[in-house]
Every structure is written in structure tokens, then in C-alpha cells.
Amino acid sequence: MEISELPRPLVIAVDGPSGSGKSSVSREVARRLGLEYLDTGAMYRAATWSVLEAGVDLADQAAVAQAVRDLDLRMGTDPAAPGVHVGSTDVAGPIRETRISSQVSAVATNLEVRAELKRRQRELIEGARDGVRSGVVAEGRDITTVVAPDADVRILLTASEEARLARRARELHGAAEAHHLEATRDQVLRRDRDDATVSSFHVAADGVLQLDSSELDFEQTVQAVLQAIAATVGTRQGDPVSR
């Protein structure tokens, strides 16, 4: 099946650990397929930013959960410019700061917060089925198993620890020298370790296709995901897959 022949609406779910490339790859796949793009990790980051700005004690789980339920969060889903707003404030930049990265797990492991944001994620995914682009690439934790287990295509994008650290170091520091890797290690591995207490994203569940991008560059990974989508949808429809 040619990519241009893929049916609509189309929901693609991409899961994976930190540094696996799921955000940048998912966004590019959405752009090429003409689909919306949902970065669910940005939702947790925006929630963390809002809670910290409000001075809520992260250790007070009930207060954090209530703050998130009251959160006025708007997620842009255009892959060309996926904005994130809390109220009238554009937080797309601030939520990527180290202070948010170092605290987000405290919010993301709050089960009541997860329940609220998963509810919102499902609403956004369902809305994308009828949107202008008639579908969405949604990426983040639990997407393939909890948030969108009925997605048309479910992919677990993984990579070796070394590859993930190098990618995140280049992203944050512009290079992957030894000291850059060490500065990045805690952010990547601790976040995965913390999130693993409430989410499974290292092993593909039944029906989820696992792709290892350790030896692939960005374009090769995008192509691998596009081929996986065409193969999965084509197989279900009984069509030959175009290579």
C-alpha cells in the first residue's frame, strides 16, 4: 500500500523511553501523512509548569491532582507548529527547561493526574478523527496500551541506553562528549525509572510493533515508521505493501 493511499481517519500511537526519538519522529511522520500531532509528554510538562508556578507542593498529591483538574490547557496539534498554552500563556519554551525536566516525574507518577490527563488525551485523539487532517499521531507514555489501545497502528520505538543518552545530550548541549553524556544521564535514566513505576514502555505489548532505532539516523527512523504504518494497515486490508 502506498503511503498516499492510507485510509482516513487514521490513529497512530507511538510509545517509548526518553531519547528514543519518539517526539521528533512522530511529529515528522504526522507532517508527511497530513495528520495531527499530539505530544502527550508536553501535557505532563505543562501541568508541572502550572503547578510550580502556582506554588503547589509537589508532595501534596491531592492538591497537585486538583490543580491539574482545574488546568486550562490548550494543545496545538498542527505538526508544523504544535503550540502549548496554559490559559493565555505560551509555555512551549518554558516546559522544556531543566527545572521542569527535573520535576515532571513527581507530577507524571501521580495516579490522579494521569487519570485526568489520559481523559483529555483520549478526547483530543477522538476529536482528531473528525478533524481537518482526519487523524493523529499521538506519542508518549502508555499511548499504545492505555490511552489508545484501539489505534490503527501501535508502535514502541526503542533505542539502546547509549544511543538515547547521546541523542538527548546533542539535543540539550549540542554535543555528545563524555561530560555531556554524564550531565544528561540523570535526566534520561531517572525519568524512565520513575515513570516505569506507573507505566510500561520498554517492552511491546501484544499487537504493538517494536522498532529499534539505535543504529538509525532520523530519516531512517522516519522511513521505518512510515513503512511499519503502511505494512500494518495494508495487511489488515489485504493489500500488498509498497516498499
Q: Report how far residue 161's alpha carbon sits from residue 47's, in angstroms, rounded to the nearest whole number.
A: 27
Q: Report how far residue 14's alpha carbon sits from residue 181's, in angstroms, rounded to the nearest whole number.
A: 25
Binding positions are: 16-24
Measure the CA angle with vertex 77, ends 175 and 35; round to 5°.
95
Residue 242 lies in a domain: no
Q: What is the pLDDT of residue 167?
A: 75
Q: What is the pLDDT of residue 37?
A: 97
Per-residue pLDDT of the chain (243 residues; tens, 9 = 90+): 567 678 889 999 999 887 788 999 999 999 999 999 999 999 999 999 999 999 999 999 999 999 999 999 999 999 999 999 999 999 999 999 889 988 998 999 999 999 999 999 999 999 998 877 889 999 998 899 999 999 999 999 998 888 888 777 677 666 656 656 666 776 676 666 666 655 555 567 788 999 999 999 999 999 999 999 999 997 766 554 443
Binding positions for ATP are: 16-24
DSSP assigned state of 239: P
Q: What is the pLDDT of residue 197?
A: 57
Q: How many CB atoms lie within 10 A of CB 243?
A: 6
Neighbouring-strand partners of residue 137: 12, 37
Q: What is the pLDDT of residue 164?
A: 82
Strands 153-158 and 135-139: unpaired
Residue 238 lies in a domain: no
pLDDT in tens, 89-103: 999 999 998 899 889
3-state secondary structure 50-70: HHHHCCCCCCCHHHHHHHHHC
Residue 243 lies in a domain: no
Residue 2 lies in a domain: no
DSSP assigned state of 106: H
Structural domain containing residue 193: 9-233
Q: What is the pLDDT of residue 243?
A: 38
Looking up residue 125, the CATH number of its domain turns out to be 3.40.50.300
Q: What is the pLDDT of residue 192?
A: 66
DSSP 136-172: EEEESTTIIIII-TT-SEEEEEE--HHHHHHHHHHHH
Measure the CA angle with vertex 67, ends 122 and 197; round to 5°.
60
Strands 84-86 and 89-90: antiparallel
Q: Is the dihedral of CA 59, 110, 190, 39 positive or negative?
A: negative
**Residue 68 identity:** V
Residue 97 lies in a domain: yes
Single pTM value for the model: 0.85
List the helix and strand counts (H, then E) for the chain.
10, 8
Residue 47 lies in a domain: yes
Please state the domain count of the chain. 1
pLDDT in tens, 107-132: 999 999 999 999 999 999 999 988 77
Q: What is the pLDDT of residue 20?
A: 83
